[in-house]
Amino acid sequence: MRKKMVAGNWKMYGNLLENKQLLAALVAELNGVREDVIVVCVPYVYLPSTQNELQNTTIAWGAQNVSQYEKGAYTGEISASMLSDFQCKYVIVGHSERRMLFGEDNDVVAEKYVAAQRAGITPILCVGETLEQREAKITEQVIEQQLMSVINVAGIESLSKAVIAYEPVWAIGTGKTASPEQAQEVHAFIRAGVAKQNLGVANQLIILYGGSVKANNAPQLFAMPDIDGGLIGGASLIASEFITICRASRH
Ligand SMILES: O=C[C@H](O)COP(=O)(O)O
């Protein structure tokens, strides 16, 4: 039986005071009451305060990006070992906003994935197609390419220390969620692709769905056999929504 996981991606929102209130609410409602994995991925600068609020709780924290380089003259970049200094357990790599707005291609994403694992951090690898690609019926090719560029570099076994998040770009922040059936179809495709190479890894692989997940649609999505939880954007900033979504991951 795979674990369920709900990860919040705060993106570039929040401030010290709001974060403190949000985290206090999550701790009050979720700490110690679940055996599933709950994570918040916060902006870099809030890692120390988040660590402070969440240490000694069952809620984990992570970052939203990481440099592919270990160290060097890379102004403005943050390395995986720096994230480790703040006990980050997870880092999102290849989010579509990074791919589209900051020019990260499949090769860079693969390097970031490797850099995270080298530092003992679990990458949450995001994959997903645009609306144009879906309409052109190349969703599976796009996802396969995104996955294979990582597997070719890091090996199939590396997925036993990773999480995949399927996030159709057309569903992110748009209020347009993939239907549970649409999402399940892609999740099953991903798992079957991994299973062809390593059945054991495929069976244990956590595959999250992301894209306009809210308290009211999470139960239907999380009930699908290959959807192991969610990567939540906007709704992760609202305590009551996020708590309800976390509770929905248990069924
Ligand atoms: O990482 C999270 C996704 O981009 C989903 O964002 P959203 O829940 O605001 O649509």
Residue 33 is predicted with a pLDDT of 78
Radius of gyration in angstroms for the set of CA atoms belonging to the chain, rounded to a whole number: 17
- The model's pTM: 0.97
Q: What is the dihedral of CA 159, 80, 126, 174, to 10 degrees?
A: 160
Tens of pLDDT, residue by residue over 28-50, are 999 987 678 999 999 999 999 99
pLDDT tier at 251 (50, 70, 90 boundaries)? low
Ligand 1: list residues with CB < 6 Å.
Answer: 9, 95, 167, 172-173, 210-213, 231-235
Please pick, among 104, 111, 167, 241, the residue that the annotation labels catalytic: 167
Among candidates 28, 57, 34, which has minimal Cα distance to 248?
34
Residue 120 one-letter amino acid: G
C-alpha span between 149 and 27 (Å, rounded): 37
For residue 242, what is the enclosing H or E element? helix 239-248
Q: State mean pLDDT over 170-198.
A: 93
Tens of pLDDT, residue by residue over 115-146, are 999 999 999 999 999 999 999 999 999 999 99
Provide the domain limits for residue 110. 5-248
Angle between the 16-30 and 47-54 helix axes, to the nearest 10 degrees? Answer: 30
Which amino acid residue places its CA nearest to atom 7 of ligand 1? 233
**Ligand 1 atom closest to Cα of residue 214:** 8
Tens of pLDDT, residue by residue over 227-244, are 999 999 999 999 999 999
Say if residue 249's pLDDT is above 60: yes
**Would you say the C-alpha torsion 214, 215, 221, 222 has a positive or negative sign?**
positive
167 is catalytic: yes
Residue 206 is predicted with a pLDDT of 98
Structurally, the chain folds into a number of domains equal to 1
The interface predicted TM-score of the complex, written ipTM, equals 0.98
Q: What is the CATH number of the domain that holds 238?
A: 3.20.20.70
Residue 239 one-letter amino acid: A
